[in-house]
């Protein structure tokens, strides 16, 4: 009997020790899981915060990538200040020459060619008398690949614009229809106030000023645009509920060309 009591006394502590070890392992595993959660939670929070940040026009890429990257984007964002200043100064000089001074394009081209040909002709003939080598006039030709790429790009943009206008004309997107109508009205009013050259110059100046200013004040502009979009959606919902939803719509089917 004494031996059995001793065996039971030895067996009880061993089972208690096993239970304690099991509880200790569970506690340590739970602690490690909590540490993993706490360590991963900042990264998850950062990702969720980035996903919630509003970007103008749903932009997901940087402004430099949206503009196409490379040299053109560097010029528009004034990364290469010398080239950007030269282009903007040249465009301003052309606008002043043709718009303010009312110089004719054909007259300017003819006068420029007359002056250039006269100088080169006299210089080439004068070299025979002063015994110097004639001026080296380089051969200039338009690359065939460049002309094909320009034509293909222009054709693609024209076809895409025609497809967008067709979808709008078929009544598939009311928002785009209203946006296009408002845009065309604004352009027509601008066309009454200024010439095509002035409009082109304004577009050129806008490309050289708006992107760089937006990149500099990106956070403030996005916050303002988010508020403006929310207000627009609110007013559009009211107009749609009162008027647009009551417009009868018939079934639209694309006509197949035989």
pLDDT for the residue 115: 94
Assess if residue 239 is contained within a domain. yes
- 183 and 219 share one domain: no
Assess if residue 222 is contained within a domain. yes
- 207 and 91 share one domain: yes
- 176 and 215 share one domain: no
| 176 Cβ contact list (under 8 Å, min separation 6) | 164, 167, 168
Assess if residue 114 is contained within a domain. no
- 80 and 188 share one domain: no
Assess if residue 62 is contained within a domain. no
- 213 and 182 share one domain: no
Assess if residue 16 is contained within a domain. yes
pLDDT for the residue 131: 75
- DSSP structural state of residue 243: T
Phi-psi region of 67 (alpha: psi -120 to 50; beta: other; left: phi over 0): alpha
Assess if residue 215 is contained within a domain. yes
- 212 and 178 share one domain: no
pLDDT for the residue 10: 44
Tens of pLDDT along the chain (258 residues) come to 444 444 444 444 455 555 555 545 445 544 444 444 444 444 444 444 444 576 766 667 777 777 777 788 888 888 888 999 999 999 999 999 888 888 888 888 899 899 999 998 888 888 877 777 777 777 878 788 888 888 998 999 999 989 888 888 887 777 788 888 888 898 888 888 888 888 889 889 998 899 888 888 888 888 888 888 888 888 888 887 887 777 766 555 444 444
Domain, as residue range, for 90: 68-102+195-246
pLDDT for the residue 21: 57
- 153 and 33 share one domain: no
pLDDT for the residue 205: 92
How many domains does one find in the chain? Answer: 3
Assess if residue 14 is contained within a domain. yes
d(Cα 120, Cα 125) in Å, to the nearest integer? 9
- 187 and 203 share one domain: no
- 94 and 216 share one domain: yes
At residue 113's C-alpha, the angle toward residues 108 and 119, to 5°, is 125
Assess if residue 38 is contained within a domain. yes
- 186 and 199 share one domain: no
pLDDT for the residue 40: 46
- 29 and 16 share one domain: yes
pLDDT for the residue 20: 52
d(Cα 50, Cα 222) in Å, to the nearest integer? 13
75: how many CB neighbours lie within 10 A of its CB?
Answer: 20
């Amino acid at each position: 009997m004494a031996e059995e009591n001793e065996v039971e006394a030895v067996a009880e502590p061993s089972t208690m020790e096993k239970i304690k070890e099991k509880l200790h392992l569970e506690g340590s595993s739970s602690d490690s899981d909590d540490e993993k959660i706490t360590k991963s939670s900042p990264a998850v929070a950062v990702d969720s915060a980035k996903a919630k940040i509003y970007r103008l026009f749903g932009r997901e890429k940087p402004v430099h990538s949206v503009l196409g990257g490379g040299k053109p984007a560097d010029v528009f964002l004034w990364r290469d200040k010398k080239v950007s200043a030269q282009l903007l100064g040249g465009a301003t000089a052309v606008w002043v020459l043709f718009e303010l001074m009312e110089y004719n394009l054909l007259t300017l081209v003819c006068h420029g060619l007359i002056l250039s040909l006269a100088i080169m002709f006299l210089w080439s003939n004068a070299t025979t008398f002063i015994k110097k080598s004639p001026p080296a006039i380089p051969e200039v030709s338009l690359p065939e690949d460049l002309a094909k790429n320009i034509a293909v790009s222009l054709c693609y943009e024209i076809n895409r614009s025609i497809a967008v206008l067709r979808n709008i004309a078929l009544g598939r997107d009311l928002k785009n229809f209203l946006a296009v109508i408002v845009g065309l009205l604004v352009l027509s009013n601008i066309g009454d106030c200024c010439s095509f050259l002035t409009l082109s110059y304004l577009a050129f100046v806008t490309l050289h000023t708006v992107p760089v200013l937006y990149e500099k004040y990106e956070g403030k502009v996005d916050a303002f645009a988010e508020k403006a979009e929310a207000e627009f959606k609110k007013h559009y919902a009211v107009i749609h509920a009162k008027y647009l939803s009551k417009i009868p719509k018939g079934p639209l089917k694309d006509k197949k060309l035989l």
